[in-house]
Amino acid sequence: MKKLFVVLALSLMALSANAQAYLGGALSFQAAGNNAVVTILPEIGYNLSKTTAIGAQVGWSNATAANRFVFAPYYRYGFKQLGPVSLFIDGEFQLNAWTTGGATTTQFGVGLAPGIAIMAGDHFSFVGHIARIGYYNGAFGINIDTNQNFQMGVYYHF
């Protein structure tokens, strides 16, 4: 048992030596007909290397007749760096719990979300997503609709 604890502690120390934590969040705006949805998604994560990160969003959204709780852990891979601009793709799992009129519905999704990050100094970055590709809310598809999948966030890097 001691050996397992020592190995786990050393692994976490090695991981944190490379990692750079970030904290931030995103706002998402969706429009469908006369209804508007506002989503607030605080986010925390670690840069494991220059090209990879892990993190999670935990948030809430409010629509005209429903509220939603969101939990979305992800693995991020940055595939192109152009100065302060980085292009990446998130492999994500999404869990949504909708509450409408006292009834709760749970939905999940698994897929990819391409995005862009722009460093604005040593500690701040702007991050955006505009699409989802995968299995979401009971259907497989590619959704590039800016009214339904636009997210813009700000991160603080420690």
Give the containing element (helix H, strand E) for 3. helix 2-18
Whether the per-residue pLDDT at 5 is higher than 80: the answer is: no
- Per-residue pLDDT reduced to its tens digit, 43-97: 999 999 989 999 999 999 887 778 889 899 999 999 999 999 999 999 999 998 9
| Residue 119 Cα distances to 3, 82, 127, angstroms | 41, 11, 9
Q: CA triplet 136, 38, 79: central angle to 5 degrees?
A: 55
Q: What is the pLDDT of residue 145?
A: 59
- Per-residue pLDDT reduced to its tens digit, 15-40: 555 458 999 998 777 777 777 778 88
Name residue, tokens 């909708």. 98
> Measured between alpha carbons, how far is 152 from 118 in angstroms, rounded to an integer?
11
- Pair of tokens at residue 105: 């519905």
* Cβ atoms 132, 143 nearer than 8 A: yes
Closest CA to 36 of 57, 69, 66: 66
Q: Which residue has the higher pLDDT, 103 or 74?
A: 74
CATH class of residue range 20-157:
mainly beta
> Residue ranges per domain, the chain?
20-157
